[in-house]
Amino acid sequence: MKKLSLVMAVMMVISLVVFGSTKIRLGGITGKISPPEGVAQVALVAGTDTLRAEVSKGIFTFINLKEGVYKVWIKGNAPYKDATIENVAVKDSSTTDLGEIKLQQ
């Protein structure tokens, strides 16, 4: 009986190590807005959640994102208009590059 209990305990520990070590791989989104002085703010929307990114010289990056589909919202400084990029897909361990985003006046 003791051997059976010991074997069961070892099997539980092994299964916890195997299944517990599975890492969630996260991705990101990056882009460059031109003109850089035209952007006030960049936000990422997923359902009811909103994240904001720092913008430096027109470049923004969102990191540690779960796999999914997002919307990027860019608030423009006058006289530039706001912009929205729908259906931005993020896959495991990869960064989606939106390239250059030109704001309209």
Name the residue among 89, 3, 73 with its Cα closest to residue 39: 73
Six token digits for residue 18: 């195997």
Tokens (6 digits) for 95: 């960064």
Residue 11 lies in a domain: no
Examine residue 36 and state whether it is found in any structural domain, yes or no: yes
The pLDDT of residue 92: 85
Whether 84 is covered by a domain: the verdict is yes
Domain at 82, CATH number: 2.60.40.1120
Would you state the pLDDT for residue 42?
97
pTM of the full structure: 0.74
* CA pair distance 38, 105, nearest whole angstrom: 9
In a domain, 98, yes or no: no
| Local mean pLDDT, 10-residue blocks, the chain (105 residues) | 58 55 78 97 93 96 95 96 96 93 96
What CA–CA distance (Å, rounded) separates 4 from 24? 34
Residue 42 structural domain: 25-93
Is 74 a domain residue? yes
69 belongs to a structural domain: yes
- Determine the pLDDT at residue 21: 47
14, part of any domain: no
Beta strands 39-46; 68-76: pairing state: antiparallel
E strands, 1-105, where? 27-34, 39-46, 49-53, 55-56, 59-65, 68-76, 83-90, 95-102
- Count of domains for the chain: 1
